[in-house]
A = this chain, B = another copy of it.
Amino acid sequence: MRSATAFAPATVSNVGCGFDVLGFALERPGDEVTARIVPGVQGIVSIADITGDDGRLPLEASRNTAGVAVRALLAAVGHGQSIALTIRKGLPLASGLGGSAASAVAAVVAVDAVLGMAAPRDLLIACALEGERVGAGSSHPDNVAPCLCGGFVLVRHPHPLDIVQLPVPAGLTAVVVHPALEIETAKARALLGDTVPLADAIRQWANLGAFVDGLHRSDFALIGRAIEDAIAEPRRAALLPGLAEIKRAAIDAGALGSGLSGSGPSLFALCRDRDSADRVAAAMTAAVRERIGGEVQSYVSAIASAGAQVTAICAS
């Protein structure tokens, strides 16, 4: 049975001042999806197996992120093959690390490869967004786009999709820590309200403009000054006990800046090099243990230069 396997990485969305529009991809961890062509029957997408989810994700394709994304892709290109998906979750569920995006992206990339379609990038993104909407309750181009493309991605406009790939300064390294907490995305969103003070909004766009300039110039000091989120984080701080102290620990250990990943509970930090990132990861982990307790997962990764990738194609 012809098959293809694709890996799609964790992503940090809502990066600081780039609420709802800026995300970046890690190199690891991530999700892996294998797509197999099922001969005979036509037009059926099924989930053969899921591992790494503790049995929490639905095997029914119409309720599964990867299943819905693949159905959308096959419908868009008018392809009649039946596909069976095997999903290996490397990302913790509901962590704020773009797990739904990663499964959806890995699935469409694997199907694109196994069917030899070479579908346009924006179509793959659009189909992955369909899937993510089922898995996460809403769709986040600032997870899906960097997951597919790698690096820092700015979503200038969601519909029609207009994304901008930003440069990644040499050395820039991400830290992510994942406390054992769950935060409902819908609750986090509700805290924001529908309007914001104009003065806060002005600060936010000034910061995002400067952040983009900092990426282009590899100006780490400017990246650090500009990353501050004037909108979402102050209004969501109560969702994560000790947020200010954990961020303070990151800065004191040498981070350029830090914030919530997505709508949390994970936190990210950006650092100028790997050594700094290792120190920051240790400091943030200790702060999370002290303030929140429970298990803490931490990741240190270069910003991924590439996004989702086909890792295996099997012809027989």
> Which of A's residues lie within 8 Å of B, judged by CB?
17-22, 154-157, 162, 164, 166, 192-199, 201-213, 216, 222, 225-226, 231
The smallest beta-carbon distance between A143 and chain B, in angstroms, is 15
The smallest beta-carbon distance between A214 and chain B, in angstroms, is 8
Indicate if the CB atoms of A202 and B156 lie closer than 8 Å. Answer: no
Q: In the complex, what distance in Å separates the CA atom of A21 from the CA atom of B230?
A: 15
Of chain B, the residue at the smallest CB distance from A199 is: B194
Indicate if the CB atoms of A195 and B197 lie closer than 8 Å. Answer: yes
- A154 touches which one: B21, B154, B196, B213 (CB < 8 A)? B213
Indicate if the CB atoms of B21 and A205 lie closer than 8 Å. Answer: yes
The smallest beta-carbon distance between A37 and chain B, in angstroms, is 39
Indicate if the CB atoms of B21 and A206 lie closer than 8 Å. Answer: yes
Indicate if the CB atoms of B198 and A197 lie closer than 8 Å. Answer: no
Of chain B, the residue at the smallest CB distance from A197 is: B195
Indicate if the CB atoms of A213 and B210 lie closer than 8 Å. Answer: no
Q: 16 interchain pairs (CB within 8 A)?
A: A18-B205, A19-B202, A21-B202, A21-B209, A154-B210, A156-B207, A156-B209, A157-B206, A162-B225, A195-B196, A196-B198, A201-B201, A208-B208, A208-B209, A209-B211, A209-B212
B residues near A208, Cβ cutoff 8 Å: 205-206, 208-209
Known: A209-B21, A210-B164. A225 touches B156 (CB 8 A): yes
Indicate if the CB atoms of B162 and A209 lie closer than 8 Å. Answer: no
Q: In the complex, what distance in Å separates the CA atom of A157 from the CA atom of B91?
A: 37
Q: In the complex, what distance in Å separates the CA atom of A214 from the CA atom of B212?
A: 10
- A198 touches which one: B195, B207, B216 (CB < 8 A)? B195
Indicate if the CB atoms of A154 and B206 lie closer than 8 Å. Answer: yes
Q: In the complex, what distance in Å separates the CA atom of A201 from the CA atom of B20?
A: 11
Q: Which 9 A-B pairs have the closest CB atoms?
A: A201-B201, A205-B205, A156-B210, A21-B206, A212-B212, A195-B195, A216-B216, A208-B209, A205-B208
B residues near A164, Cβ cutoff 8 Å: 209-210, 213, 222
Of chain B, the residue at the smallest CB distance from A22 is: B209
B residues near A17, Cβ cutoff 8 Å: 205
Given contact pairs A17-B205, A18-B209, A205-B209, a sample of 5 additional A-B residue pairs in the complex whose CB atoms are under 8 Å apart: A21-B209, A154-B209, A164-B209, A201-B201, A201-B204
Known: A195-B197, A197-B195, A212-B213. A206 touches B155 (CB 8 A): yes
The smallest beta-carbon distance between A185 and chain B, in angstroms, is 16
The smallest beta-carbon distance between A158 and chain B, in angstroms, is 9
B residues near A194, Cβ cutoff 8 Å: 197-199
B residues near A201, Cβ cutoff 8 Å: 196, 201, 204-205, 231
The smallest beta-carbon distance between A221 and chain B, in angstroms, is 10
The smallest beta-carbon distance between A222 and chain B, in angstroms, is 7
Of chain B, the residue at the smallest CB distance from A21 is: B206
B residues near A210, Cβ cutoff 8 Å: 154, 156, 162, 164, 212
